[in-house]
A and B are shown apart, each in its own frame.
Chain A
Amino acid sequence: GDQVEQSPSALSLHEGTGSALRCNFTTTMRAVQWFRKNSRGSLINLFYLASGTKENGRLKSAFDSKERYSTLHIRDAQLEDSGTYFCAALTGNTGKLIFGLGTTLQVQP
């Protein structure tokens, strides 16, 4: 079935450094959305992409439907970036949003 494989499951960064999170899809997805879980467990939207790339501050995301992946790049990581990040893919058929298992990011001084 349709699946979203998110990696890495955990990531540790020092302040000021950067890295990338990745989601691979087993089928062609219509769009992808990246979320961050806040302290209350709610999902806060970071990016929604139907194609191409988007950038917001120190975050940048890309989505390639044909190659079946999406990435979230974090640069100049700050302590407050720590948390759990999720990608979610909107299937080609209507009505399903499939989440990856998440990446727990810890930013250290």
Chain B
Amino acid sequence: AQTIHQWPVAEIKAVGSPLSLGCTIKGKSSPNLYWYWQATGGTLQQLFYSITVGQVESVVQLNLSASRPKDDQFILSTEKLLLSHSGFYLCAWSEGGPSQNTLYFGAGTRLSVL
């Protein structure tokens, strides 16, 4: 069975500080990986997606970056946090393109920027 693990569970960070959120998928080789940001009202905003190691596509510009250093790992980061970065970050995986498959989400990371 596939498992998806996100870390940390929650973060409280200061404006201007760096951030690194991690996501690991076990039990699935070569998954498509996604970062979503759950904004106010529950809207899921796709941030990045990756179909293979070393390749990441940016969907929206939020002064964040993502990397896929290994097949089962997806990292979301920034060198300088903004207040607007607060929210709930979700990592997800799918077997194929997102529009023809089910996305499986991790438990998420709650980020508060103060």
- A residues at B contact (CB < 8 Å): 31, 33, 35, 37, 40-45, 48, 50, 84, 86, 88, 94-99, 101-102
A42 touches B43 (CB 8 A): no
How distant is the Cα of A86 from the Cα of B41 in the complex, in angstroms? 20
A48 touches B57 (CB 8 A): no
- B residues at A contact (CB < 8 Å): 41-46, 49, 57, 59, 92, 97-106
Tell me the interface secondary structure of chain A in the complex: strand
B99 touches A101 (CB 8 A): yes
Tell me how far the C-beta of B66 lies from the nearest C-beta in chain A, rounded to whole angstroms.
13
Complex contacts, B41 vs chain A, CB 8 Å = 48
A45 touches B102 (CB 8 A): no
A95 touches B105 (CB 8 A): yes
Complex contacts, A102 vs chain B, CB 8 Å = 99-100
A43 touches B57 (CB 8 A): no
A97 touches B92 (CB 8 A): yes
Complex contacts, B103 vs chain A, CB 8 Å = 88, 96-99
Contact among A31, A37, A44, A45 for B99, CB-based, below 8 A: A37
Besides A42-B49, A48-B43, A95-B105, 4 new A-B residue pairs in contact (Cβ under 8 A), listed by A number: A40-B57, A45-B45, A99-B99, A99-B102
How distant is the Cα of A99 from the Cα of B46 in the complex, in angstroms? 14
A99 touches B57 (CB 8 A): no
Residue picked from B44, B46, B101, most chain A C-beta under 10 Å = B44
A45 touches B43 (CB 8 A): yes
How distant is the Cα of A41 from the Cα of B49 in the complex, in angstroms? 10
